[in-house]
C-alpha cells in the first residue's frame, strides 16, 4: 500500500514539473531565443542523464541498428516538439499553453484509430468535440489577434506532434531503459539545435543571462528534462499505463498556479471555461462506459 503511494508521488512530481515548465520557458524568452533554450536545456539534460546512468549503473551503450529509431525519436520529441512549444510561448501566455497541451490525447486517439486500427467510439467522438470546443474558448481568451492565433495554432500543432511521437514510441521498438532513451534523444535534439543557436549568438546571451533566469534553465534541465522522465518511468514500472496517464489531467493546474505566482498572469474566464471543457473532453474520451 505504501509502495503504491510512493509511485503515485513519482507520477505527480513528473506532472508538476512538466506543468511548471511552460512558465520557466516563458520567462527565459525574455533573454533567449527558442533555439538557445532548447539546445542549452537538453544539452545540460544530456550531461545529467549520462551521469545518472553511471551512478545507477544503467548501460548507455546501444546497438548501431537502433540508432535510426533514436534519431527519429530525438527529432520528433525534442528538435521539433520542444522548438514548436517554445516558439508558441512567444505569442501566448504560459497558462493558455498549459490548457492547450492537455489536448494531446485527442490527437493520440485520432492517430491510433487511423494508424493502429483502434476503435473510434461515439463516446470518444463526443469527448473529442468537447475538447476541441474548449480549444476555441482558450483561443478567445487570447483575443483572436493574428499573433495569438499563431501561438494557439503552434501549440495545437505541438500536441499533434506529441501524439505522433507517442505513436512512434509505441511502433518503434527500442529495447533500452527509459534513461538510456532519454539520454540519446536529448543528445540528438540538442545537437540538431546547436547550429541555429550559434547562428543567433545564443551563447553570448547565455553568458550575460541574470541568475534568476539561470535558475529557470537549470530547473528545465534537471527537473523537467531529466528527473521527470525518470519519475514517469518509475511510475510506469509499477502502475498500469492508464492509471499513470490520469495524472496528466492535472498538469494544467500546476501551470495555472505557477503562472499566477511567477509571471503574474491573469486567467480569463473564457480560458477557465475552455480549460474545463478540454479536461472534460479528454476524460470522457478515456472513460470506460458500460456495454
The residues, ordered by sequence, that sit 6+ positions from 115 with a Cβ below 8 Å of its Cβ are: 167, 171
Cβ 275 vs Cβ 134: under 8 Å: yes
pLDDT of residue 115: 66
Q: Does residue 152 register a pLDDT over 70? A: yes
Mean pLDDT computed over 125-138: 75
Least confident of 70-84, 134-148, 214-228, 230-244: 134-148
Minimal CA–CA distance to 53: which of 163, 178, 205, 185?
A: 178
How large a percentage of the chain has pLDDT more than 90?
Answer: 32
pLDDT at 242: 58
3-class DSSP assignment, residue 274: helix
Give every CB contact of residue 251 below 8 A, 6+ residues apart in sequence.
Answer: 15, 16, 18, 19, 98, 101, 102
Identify the pLDDT of residue 289: 47
What are the phi and psi torsion angles at 40 (to 5°)?
Answer: -70, -40
Residue-level pLDDT at 291:
42
Confidence label for 240 from pLDDT (cuts 50, 70 and 90): low
The C-alpha atoms of residue 87 and residue 79 are separated, in whole angstroms, by: 12
Q: Estimate the crossing angle of helix 94-101 against helix 146-171, to 10 degrees.
A: 40
Amino acid at each position: 500500500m505504501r509502495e503504491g503511494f510512493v509511485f503515485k508521488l513519482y507520477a505527480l512530481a513528473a506532472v508538476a514539473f512538466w506543468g511548471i515548465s511552460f512558465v520557466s520557458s516563458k520567462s527565459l524568452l525574455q533573454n533567449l531565443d527558442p533555439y538557445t533554450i532548447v539546445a542549452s536545456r537538453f544539452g545540460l539534460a544530456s550531461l545529467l542523464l549520462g551521469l545518472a546512468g553511471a551512478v545507477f549503473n544503467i548501460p548507455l551503450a546501444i546497438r548501431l541498428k537502433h540508432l535510426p529509431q533514436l534519431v527519429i525519436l530525438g527529432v520528433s520529441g525534442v528538435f521539433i516538439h520542444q522548438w514548436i512549444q517554445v516558439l508558441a510561448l512567444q505569442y501566448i501566455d504560459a497558462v493558455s499553453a498549459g490548457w492547450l497541451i492537455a489536448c494531446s490525447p485527442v490527437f493520440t486517439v485520432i492517430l491510433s484509430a487511423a494508424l493502429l486500427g483502434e476503435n473510434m467510439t461515439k463516446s470518444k467522438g463526443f469527448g473529442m468535440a468537447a475538447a476541441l470546443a474548449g480549444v476555441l474558448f482558450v483561443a478567445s481568451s487570447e483575443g483572436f489577434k493574428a499573433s495569438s492565433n499563431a501561438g494557439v495554432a503552434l501549440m495545437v500543432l505541438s500536441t499533434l506532434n506529441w501524439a505522433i511521437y507517442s505513436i512512434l514510441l509505441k511502433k518503434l521498438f527500442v529495447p533500452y531503459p527509459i534513461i538510456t532513451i532519454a539520454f540519446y534523444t536529448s543528445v540528438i535534439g540538442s545537437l540538431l539545435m546547436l547550429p541555429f543557436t550559434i547562428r543567433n549568438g545564443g551563447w553570448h546571451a547565455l553568458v550575460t543571462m541574470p541568475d534568476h533566469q539561470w535558475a529557470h534553465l537549470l530547473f528545465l534541465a534537471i527537473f523537467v528534462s531529466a528527473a521527470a522522465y525518470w519519475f514517469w518511468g518509475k511510475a510506469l514500472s509499477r502502475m498500469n499505463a492508464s492509471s499513470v496517464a490520469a495524472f496528466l489531467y492535472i498538469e494544467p493546474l500546476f501551470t495555472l498556479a505557477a503562472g499566477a505566482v511567477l509571471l503574474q498572469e491573469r486567467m480569463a474566464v473564457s480560458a477557465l471555461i475552455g480549460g474545463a471543457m478540454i479536461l472534460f473532453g479528454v476524460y470522457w474520451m478515456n472513460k470506460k462506459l458500460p456495454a
